[in-house]
Amino acid sequence: MASVDPVLLIDVGNTNIKVGLAVLGSIRSSYVLPSSLTETADTLGLKITDICRHEQISPKAVSAWMVSSVVPPLDSAVRRAGEKFSDCPVYFVPDSLEVPLQNAYDNPSEVGADRLVTAYAARELFSSPGLLVVDFGTATTLECIQDWQYLGGLICPGIFSSLQALGGQTSKLPRISLELDSSDLIIGRNTATSMSHGFIYGFAAMIDGLCHRLQGLLRGEITVVGTGGYAARVQPVSACLQEVRPDLLMQGLLLMYGFLEEGRTAGEQRR
């Protein structure tokens, strides 16, 4: 049975902190805050309080904070903010709760929490034996899942970080939104069009090529899932992206909260 009390789902990334609010077992809304190492428990807690106020709930009504973090210096502030402003447990996945996937990485602790939680969400949501999850985040990552085993993956440059790097080195390049003005690849006759088509089609070609090669390393039927902010922009020009689930990581955190409700321990988790 889904929890009646709200749950906060928090993804602490290198660029943004994403905050999702789950009610009655589904994600009702989400917000994006900039990541900053100057964040304190109080500044973060006050921002969360504002989000709760906007959603017309009390921070004290929240039953738990479910956190995925790849920024260890912020972990303490996040934990203290949850305990102070919501007076509830703060669970870091996978440190507080083991993700129910067999982790085949050479050093399992090297896998970013976001990568593991996203892979787990895809495993729960899609039935094909093989899965490729492409996450268009600060970095573009490709995760390989075979049955209930996380095999590892690839880490490539991210679209937005690449755009920032290019713009920072080239003063004449304009700031663009990476919106395509044509459904087909065209020869750019202005800088904005050249960059938009170059980035979107370029990253689509990279993903298609890598997925084609990785599919040969997995067994059985394979589903390729895109997630992250740019997945929906790349999918229309990609030959491999079959599904887009922008909130896959949030879904994974919510699924992990289900383990708490059901009282399941790591030893009881499915492999």
Taken in order 149, 153, 159, 164, the sign of the CA dihedral is: positive
**Location of each CATH 3.30.420.40 domain in the chain:** 7-92, 102-251
For the entire predicted model, the pTM comes to 0.88
Active-site residues: which are they? Answer: 114
pLDDT at 1 (0 to 100): 42
The Cα–Cα gap between 29 and 132 comes to: 26
Does the domain at 102-251 match CATH 3.30.420.40? Answer given as: yes
**Would you call 165 helix, strand, or coil by DSSP?**
helix
Q: What is the pLDDT of residues 90-148, one digit of tens each?
A: 999 999 888 999 999 999 999 999 999 999 999 999 999 999 999 998 899 999 999 99
Low-confidence ranges of the chain (pLDDT < 50): 1, 264-271
pLDDT at 5 (0 to 100): 82
The Cα–Cα gap between 139 and 209 comes to: 17
- Decide which of 1.10.760.10, 3.40.630.30, 3.30.420.40, 3.40.50.300 is the CATH code for 7-92: 3.30.420.40
Sheet bearing 243-244, strands edge to edge: 102-103, 149-157, 139-146, 130-136, 222-228, 243-244
Q: Is there a contact between 195 and 176 (Cβ–Cβ < 8 Å)?
A: yes
The Cα–Cα gap between 12 and 70 comes to: 6
pLDDT at 271 (0 to 100): 44
What's the token pair of residue 64? 């738990």
